[in-house]
Amino acid sequence: MIEFKLPSLGADMDEGTLLEWKVKPGDAVKKGQVIAVVDTAKAAVDVECWQEGRVHELVAAIGEKMPVGALMATLLAAGETAPRRLGAGEAAPAGPAAPPLRRLISPAARKHAQELGVELERIAGTGPHGAVTLEDVEKAAAVPAEPPAAPVPPPAAPAADKAAEMRKAIAAAMSRSKREIPHYYVAEDIPLARALAWLSAENARRPMADRLLPAALLLKAVARALQRYPELNGYWRDGGFVPGERINLGVAVSLRQGGLIAPALLDAAAKPLTQLMQELADLVQRTRTGSLKSSELNEATITVTNLGDQGSHGVFGVIYPPQVALVGFGRVAERPWVDADGGLKALPVVTASLAADHRVSDGHRGALFLRELAELLQHPEELNR
């Protein structure tokens, strides 16, 4: 059975109204044939079918409004026969309701499949009502997914497994981001002479264990700047922007074995620098030992990536969906700088960038945000509150 679903006919189309069917049940349909006319927000559009077959049932009614992806019609492929339906007067079997359409998977099976990386879709269930059981998962895990063309390597070591899984997760999130989020980018060079001088003085009077890194100052400044530009802090959900209740900075932490995780520094704007530094150190350490809390993994409202003193000049990041912005910092380095009265100096400078979701904000606001960030970093003592 081929399912013909309402296609997305434009980036901004979420739904459509069926105006006309161009076929009726029993008609043969060729690839590319226009079979329906659908009204979208912009215009009436001819809808083509990209599969061949014979129309079995027209599910959608004329005048019906449907979301993109809704089932409109079913087609029978060549050689396929219609499934038997209950005739008139033929009662549905009494007793327990028909098994639900959802696949039945036991909780233990689902959990174990995830641990083993087994795809549940390819497992036939043998439990009650055909549910996939733990045993089914174990059996499936023992058999390779596809008939192997070459000898299968032995099951990967757990560490490699994990790295591969992480790569997969990053791939999925970043692909989705680039597919769905219309990014724009702005950048700003920010002189850090005052900030670093203040930091040196501050660190000189602190014990080693309480020393602050420039990263803490940058994060605090981002959090403060976000208070004035809340449209950069939050999520894109269900077709709209949902502002974050607090400012939870996702801090991109690269792992030594490759990959990265961006756990959240919760409520960063409200925390004094010393606390922020301690939490940052703790977060980095736990990220690397793999003992993060789920709230830290889920609750970031924006991501900050900091390539640090080993990194490049600047970085233009990919937004982590459903977040709507990412702030990047490049390497802090001495660069020539023209100051207000026209003099040329060598100063430590960092390039800050913003990648943001154009559905939520515009470049102008993004630029203002970076200006605010630059301004805040000129008054480091005020960030220490």
Partner 1 sequence: MMTEEEARDVVIETLKNIAPEIAHEDLRHDRPLRYQVDLDSMDWLNFLLGLNKRLGIEIPESDYSRLITLDDVVDYLLSKVG
Partner 2 sequence: MTRRLSYREAMREAMREALQNDPRVFLMGEDVGRYGGTYAFSKGFLDEFGPERIRDTPLSELGFVGAGIGAALGGLRPIVEVMTVNFSLLALDQIVNSAALLRHMSGGQFPVPLVIRMCTGAGRQLAAQHSHSFEGWYAHIPGIKVLAPATIEDARGMLAPALADPDPVVIFEHCGLFNVEGELPDNGDDCAVDIASAKVRRAGKDVAIITYGGCLPKALAAAETLAQDGISAEVLDLRVLRPLDDAAIAAAVAKCRRVVVVDENWKSGGLAAEIVARIVEHAFFELDAPVARVCAEEVPIPYAKHLEEAALPQPDKIVAAVKGLFA
Minimum CB distance to partner 1 smaller for 124 or for 204: 204
Q: In the complex, what is the shortest distance from the CB of residue 106 to partner 2, in angstroms, rounded to a whole number?
A: 4
Q: Which does 126 bind (CB under 5 to 8 A by kind): partner 1, partner 2, none?
A: partner 2
Those residues whose C-beta lies under 8 Å from the C-beta of residue 227, and which sit 6 or more positions away, are 247, 269
Interactions with partner 2, residue window 89-128 (CB under 8 A): 106-111, 126-128
Q: Which does 131 bind (CB under 5 to 8 A by kind): partner 2, partner 1, none?
A: partner 2
* CA dihedral of 276, 278, 282, 284, whole degrees rounded to 10: 60
Q: In the complex, what is the shortest distance from the CB of residue 107 to partner 2, in angstroms, rounded to a whole number?
A: 5
Q: In the complex, what is the shortest distance from the CB of residue 282 to partner 1, in angstroms, rounded to a whole number?
A: 11
Rounded-to-integer distance, Cα 140 and Cα 244, Å: 42
Interactions with partner 1, residue window 188-207 (CB under 8 A): 200, 203-204
Minimum CB distance to partner 2 smaller for 104 or for 255: 104
Give the residue carrying structure tokens 């006309």.
20
Rounded-to-integer distance, Cα 37 and Cα 26, Å: 19
Count CB atoms within 10 A of the CB of residue 64.
Answer: 12
Judging by beta carbons within 10 Å of its beta carbon (0-12, 13-18, 19+), is residue 59 exposed, middle or buried?
middle
Rounded-to-integer distance, Cα 295 and Cα 290, Å: 14
Under the binding rule (CB under 8 A), the answer on residue 308 touching partner 1 is yes
Give the residue carrying structure tokens 């998962």.
137
Q: In the complex, what is the shortest distance from the CB of residue 355 to partner 1, in angstroms, rounded to a whole number?
A: 21
Helix, coil or strand: residue 169: helix
Minimum CB distance to partner 2 smaller for 115 or for 362: 115
Rounded to the nearest 10 degrees, the angle between the axes of helix 134-142 and helix 107-116 is 20
Number of residues that make up the chain: 385
Rounded-to-integer distance, Cα 45 and Cα 38, Å: 5
The one among 16, 53, 214, 263 contacting partner 1 by CB under 8 A: 214
Q: Which does 308 bind (CB under 5 to 8 A by kind): partner 2, partner 1, none?
A: partner 1
Give the range of 36-44, 181-189, 233-241, 253-261 binding partner 1 by CB under 8 A. 253-261
Minimum CB distance to partner 1 smaller for 34 or for 281: 281
Rounded-to-integer distance, Cα 248 and Cα 263, Å: 9
- The answer to whether the CB of 109 falls within 8 A of the CB of 137 is yes
Under the binding rule (CB under 8 A), the answer on residue 333 touching partner 1 is no
Q: Which of 184, 244, 191 is nearest to 376 (CA)?
A: 191
E strand or H helix at 309, and its extent? none
Q: Which does 177 bind (CB under 5 to 8 A by kind): partner 1, partner 2, none?
A: none
Q: Which does 130 bind (CB under 5 to 8 A by kind): partner 1, partner 2, none?
A: partner 2
Interactions with partner 2, residue window 174-233 (CB under 8 A): none
Interactions with partner 2, residue window 129-158 (CB under 8 A): 130-131, 133-135
Rounded-to-integer distance, Cα 327 and Cα 246, Å: 17
Q: In the complex, what is the shortest distance from the CB of residue 257 to partner 1, in angstroms, rounded to a whole number?
A: 7
Output the CA–CA distances (angstroms, integers) from residue 241 to 1, 41, 125, 186, in the order listed: 38, 21, 41, 21
Give the range of 25-33, 79-87, 279-287, 343-351 binding partner 1 by CB under 8 A. 279-287
Minimum CB distance to partner 1 smaller for 38 or for 280: 280
Rounded to the nearest 10 degrees, the angle between the axes of helix 214-228 and helix 193-204 is 130
Under the binding rule (CB under 8 A), the answer on residue 85 touching partner 1 is no
Q: In the complex, what is the shortest distance from the CB of residue 141 to partner 2, in angstroms, rounded to a whole number?
A: 15
Q: Which residues bind partner 1 (CB under 8 A)?
A: 200, 203-204, 208-209, 211, 213-215, 254, 256-257, 280-281, 284-285, 308-310
Q: Which residues bind partner 2 (CB under 8 A)?
A: 106-111, 126-128, 130-131, 133-135
